[in-house]
């Protein structure tokens, strides 16, 4: 499938007037980053509205435990990171709803414990330490065609999910009981959102690394919120700003030989600073 | 603009009690056509304002609670609540802080587990699926939030994400719902920047959007400026008359309750008294329910005027201030 779908995409990029886009690794990086930038910008609007920045930070940090488990069980660490993140994200939402605890309290306990477990295993097994930098900083320039295909698949699935449920999710975030009284299955939707978000975070770690995933979700959406007066405006601005920061970040990182993830977030944060000056 | 009284008429009062607010106090002149006839979807059985309506006790309640108990985290919040909410009337749930008012509202909304039975009944007394409109006190939204009123009102009426645009008919329906509450001008305003009163009107419009038979109000007009409170009170009274809506409100503000509720449920973990407002709201009962602090709330005409003065002095004035009227759009600009 990769042989039929990807070459035309690379071909299109090669037509653009940038020499750097003729490099295969750069073509893959640009495609993957563009996909994830769009999805992060879209989900980010809901993350900001649900005040789930801490949740996404916690899920991304649980990747430490995912890596450790994957290596202990002898499976691909990316797979275990995804599965563990989705499982723990859904568990957090369920616990909070059942125990009626505040999200940050629940997460504080749950995630601190899992991250501690992951770090304990990684520190005890020295050979695990060599895979860590890829997760910490992201390894977008080392993507394979297969990785890119998975990212495109994720993008399509996430956008399809949002096309169907965005309005209801936003409704739930505004008033849980009001949404439920209108027949919206709030708990199921919130669980599905947690799963979709955890899945996205698992993939986005490839781009910017564990430490900066939340920034990729939250900064463009918040920047757009400073400038927009409607959700429509916020969503499209968020997508535009996210793409802008991603491309600018990738190019700058090549130029200065810095980590692409860090450069992307620096661009996003600069745009946020600018938006504070232009605040509506 | 056609103007009519939002106050309850004689026939809205459950016999044998009579209203504190007499019929015709600020009503349309006897020779003027009643706007009821055109505004009411239930026009066929609408009667002239002066004709007596059936005894509310004789028609089945809109909502019946039987032995409702709620325990949260091992703590009993509500115990054995038995109540019947009169159809087409406003009932207020009153009680001190921590009495379980909000919990009872949540049980009726069906968003928390409870024991016992909560049934919605049709006019023949048969159980029917609930058709509830809920007006919460606030939304989880801050002033910076980018969400316009029309986007909010489209969230449960269109599947297509609001960022791909709002269908013309969805927008028009929202505009008409707001129009009935004199709030059409709020359509494109950011939700986070509305005043308390404006937000209440938007929330009520959104609730009415779904053609409910029972409306649940959580602390209406709390945090609402005086002018907004006036308008909201007017609108509520109009709705109760025009649409035969059953209104159930939770309020700690006795001036609102005395102005708007025909019936009162006193709640303090269990029902301590219930009945017609005029009978229940006596100083002894309030002292029982609220303890010594009831003095702070005790109803006098002056306090009531603060919220809804039209029932008293100003309704007699020769220059009426603009007020809400629940009229079809065709009646508005004539």
Q: Is B160 on the interface with A (CB under 8 A)?
A: yes
Count other Cβ atoms within 10 Å, centred on residue B299. 18
Query: Does B120 contact chain A (CB < 8 Å)?
Result: no
CA-nearest residue to A228 within chain B is B146
Rounding to the nearest 10 degrees, give the CA dihedral for residues A188, A194, A199, A204: 150
Which residues of chain A does B219 touch, with a Cβ-Cβ cutoff of 8 Å?
none
In the beta sheet, which residues pair with residue B267?
B271
What is residue A123's predicted lDDT score, i.e. its pLDDT? 83
Q: How far is B252 from A145, CA to CA, in rounded Å?
A: 64
Least-confidence region, from A58-62, A133-137, B53-57, B229-233: B53-57
d(CA A217, CA A228): 17
**Can you tell me the distance from the alpha carbon of A84 to that of A69, in angstroms, rounded to the nearest whole number?**
9
State the Cα–Cα distance between residues B135 and B114, nearest whole angstrom: 21
CA distance B235 to B254: 19
Q: Which of A44, A174, A222 to substitute to test the interface with B, most B CBs within 10 Å?
A: A174
Please indicate whether residue A220 or residue B315 has the higher confidence score (pLDDT). A220
The pTM for the full model equals 0.79
For residue A190, list chain B residues with Cβ-Cβ distance below 8 A.
none
- State whether A167 and B134 contact (CB < 8 Å): no
Please give the pLDDT value at position B26: 34
Asked if A187 has any chain B CB less than 8 Å from its own CB, the reply is no
Query: b/e map of A170-189 (b: 16 or more CB within 10 Å)?
Result: bbbbbbbbbbbbbebebbeb
Which residue stretches of chain B have pLDDT < 50? 1-57, 294-334
Helices (H), chain B: 36-39, 101-109, 149-154, 168-180, 196-208, 226-243, 254-260, 277-280, 283-290, 294-297, 301-308, 329-332
The confidence score (pLDDT) of residue A102 equals 66
> Cα angle vertex B219, ends B9, B329, to 5°?
55
Structural domains in chain A, sorted by start: 2-278 (1.10.3470.10)
Read off the tokens for A185.
């299955």
Q: Nearest C-alpha of chain B: how many angstroms from A183?
A: 9
CA dist A100 → A96, B134, B138 (Å): 5, 22, 20
A179 — contact with chain B (CB < 8 Å)? yes
The CA angle A230-A231-A233, to the nearest 5 degrees, is 65
With CA atoms as reference, report the closest residue to A148 among A12, A271, A25, A65.
Answer: A25
Phi-psi region at B91: left, alpha or beta (left = phi > 0; alpha = psi -120 to 50): beta
Calculate helix-pair angle for A260-278, A231-256, nearest 10 degrees.
140
Segment A22-41 mean pLDDT: 90
Mean pLDDT value across residues A23-48: 92
Tens digits of residue pLDDT in A140-167: 888 888 889 999 999 999 999 999 999 9
Q: What is the per-residue pLDDT for A151?
A: 93
Contacts of A81 (CB under 8 A, 6+ apart): A63, A66, A67, A70, A135, A202, A205
**With contacts defined as CB-CB under 8 Å, which chain B residues touch A163?**
160-161, 164
Residue-level pLDDT at A82:
92
- Nearest 5 degrees, angle CA B218-CA B196-CA A45? 90
Q: Which domains does chain B have, with CATH numbers?
A: 10-131+212-332 (3.40.50.300), 142-198 (no CATH)
Selected residue of B102, B155, B174, B207 to mutate for chain A interface (largest A Cβ count, 10 A): B155
């Amino acid at each position: 499938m990769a042989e039929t779908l990807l070459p035309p995409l690379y071909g299109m990029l090669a037509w653009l007037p940038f020499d750097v886009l003729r490099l295969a690794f750069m073509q893959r990086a640009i495609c993957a980053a563009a996909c994830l930038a769009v999805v992060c910008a879209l989900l980010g609007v809901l993350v900001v509205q649900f005040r789930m920045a801490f949740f996404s930070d916690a899920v991304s940090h649980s990747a430490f435990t995912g890596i450790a488990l994957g290596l202990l069980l002898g499976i691909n660490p990316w797979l275990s990171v995804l599965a563990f993140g989705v499982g723990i994200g859904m568990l957090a939402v369920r616990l909070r709803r059942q125990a009626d605890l505040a999200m940050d309290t629940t997460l504080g306990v749950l995630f601190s414990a899992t991250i501690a477990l992951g770090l304990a295993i990684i520190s005890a097994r020295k050979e695990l330490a060599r895979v860590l930098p890829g997760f910490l900083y992201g390894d977008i320039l080392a993507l394979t065609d297969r990785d890119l295909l998975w990212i495109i698949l994720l993008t399509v699935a996430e956008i399809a999910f949002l096309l169907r449920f965005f309005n209801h999710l936003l409704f739930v975030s505004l008033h849980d009981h009001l949404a439920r009284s209108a027949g919206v299955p709030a708990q199921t939707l919130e669980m599905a959102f947690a799963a979709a978000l955890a899945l996205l975070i698992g993939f986005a770690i490839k781009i910017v690394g564990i430490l900066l995933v939340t920034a990729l979700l939250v900064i463009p959406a918040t920047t757009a919120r400073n400038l927009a007066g409607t959700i429509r405006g916020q969503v499209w601005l968020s997508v535009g700003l996210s793409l802008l920061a991603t491309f600018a970040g990738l190019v700058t990182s090549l130029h200065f030989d810095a980590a692409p993830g860090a450069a992307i977030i620096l661009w996003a944060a600069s745009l946020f600073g600018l938006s504070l000056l232009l605040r509506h | 603009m056609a103007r009519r009284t939002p106050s309850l008429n004689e026939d809205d009062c459950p016999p044998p009690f009579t209203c504190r607010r007499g019929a015709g106090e600020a009503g349309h002149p006897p020779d003027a056509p009643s706007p009821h006839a055109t505004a009411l979807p239930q026009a066929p059985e609408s009667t002239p304002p002066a004709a007596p309506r059936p005894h509310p006790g004789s028609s089945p309640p809109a909502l019946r609670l039987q032995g409702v108990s709620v325990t949260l985290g091992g703590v009993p919040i509500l115990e054995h609540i038995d109540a019947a909410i009169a159809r087409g009337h406003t009932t207020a749930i009153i009680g001190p802080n921590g009495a379980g008012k909000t919990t009872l509202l949540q049980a009726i909304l069906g968003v928390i587990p409870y024991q016992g039975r909560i049934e919605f009944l049709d006019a023949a007394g048969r159980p029917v699926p609930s058709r509830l409109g809920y007006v919460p006190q606030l939304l989880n939204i801050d002033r910076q939030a980018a969400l316009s009123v029309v986007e909010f009102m489209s969230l449960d009426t269109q599947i297509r994400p609001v960022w791909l645009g709002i269908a013309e008919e969805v927008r028009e329906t929202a505009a008409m719902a707001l129009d009935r509450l004199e709030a059409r001008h709020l359509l494109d305003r950011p939700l986070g920047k509305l005043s308390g009163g404006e937000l209440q009107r938007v929330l009520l419009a959104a609730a009415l959007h779904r053609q409910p038979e029972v409306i649940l109000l959580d602390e209406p007009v709390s945090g609402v400026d005086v002018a907004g409170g006036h308008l909201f009170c007017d609108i509520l009274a109009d709705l109760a008359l025009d649409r035969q809506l059953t209104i159930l409100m939770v309020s700690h503000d006795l001036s609102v309750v005395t102005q708007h509720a025909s019936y009162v449920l006193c709640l303090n973990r269990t029902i301590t008294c219930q009945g017609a407002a005029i009978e229940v709201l006596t100083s002894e009962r309030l002292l029982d329910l609220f303890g010594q602090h009831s003095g702070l709330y005790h109803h006098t005409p002056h306090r009531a005027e603060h919220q809804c003065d039209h029932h008293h002095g100003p309704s007699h004035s020769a220059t009426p201030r603009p007020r809400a009227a629940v009229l079809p759009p065709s009646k508005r600009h004539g």
